[in-house]
Amino acid sequence: MRLFYILRGIVRGCNNSKTFNLFFDWFYPHYFSPVIEGALNAFYTDDEVVLVIFKFLTELVLNRQ
């Protein structure tokens, strides 16, 4: 859970499209599938962990900066 809180904070800190694109280009191809799918597969019964993951994904998708 702490990992997703940290990643969510990083995404919130991306103030412009350049910093967001740097984060997204680093995160998406290599880490997205193993981290997100691995966490959801391991903790699908724990509602709190799933909620934190979904909050991170929401912040990633709806980043308005």
| Whole-angstrom distance, CA of residue 30 vs CA of residue 46 | 25
Dig out the tokens for 57 from the structure: 């994904």
pLDDT in tens, the chain (65 residues): 888 898 888 888 888 889 988 988 998 888 888 999 999 999 999 999 999 999 998 888 888 66
Per DSSP, 48 falls in state: H
- pTM value is 0.78
